[in-house]
Amino acid sequence: MKFITWITIMFVLLVFAGFIYFSGASLNQSGSASVDSSGTQKVVLSMQNGNYWPRTITVKAGQKVSLELDNSIQGCYRSFNIRDLGVSGYSASPSQTIDFVPQQKGSFRFACGMGMGYGTIIVD
């Protein structure tokens, strides 16, 4: 085989390995809230592979959380519940955020209205 063929094969393998590495990394990434000037923790959820993404969000206790469900989220997934924190809301559009102040530290399950979409919120 010609040298140039080997170079091409190596290059393709490298790009492929890089793709696997980075797609894996982004799937494992968990969402942290960004905090605005008023101290509100902003979290944006979207939809990926039939569930919320990111699947794990981390917030601080005692500080307001403003949760946005972006345009990729449809139907029943727009109702958002964290039962153990007493949060139950419906967002008709992304601008209608679900706001709450998590007081209790711990790891809690969040879910849509019927429980098909779910994830974990870590309050610390």
Which residues in this chain contact Cu ion in the complex, by CB under 5 A?
76, 112-114, 116
Rounded least distance, CB 41 to Cu ion, Å: 24
Q: How far is the CB of 120 from Cu ion (least distance, A)?
A: 17
- 25 vs 73: CA distance, rounded Å: 23
C-beta of 37 vs 74, nearer to Cu ion? 74
Q: CA nearest 118: which of 80, 74, 61, 72?
A: 80
Q: Minimum distance from CB of 111 to Cu ion (Å)?
A: 8
Query: H helices of 1-124, where?
Result: 3-28
Nearer to Cu ion among residue 46 and residue 63 (C-beta):
46
Would you call 15 helix, strand, or coil by DSSP? helix
Check the CA dihedral 79-26-84-41 and report its sign.
Answer: negative
Strand partners, 67: 43, 98
At closest approach, how far in Å is the CB of 76 from Cu ion?
Answer: 3
Pick the closer one to Cu ion by CB: 40 or 84. 84
Nearer to Cu ion, 15 or 114 (CB): 114
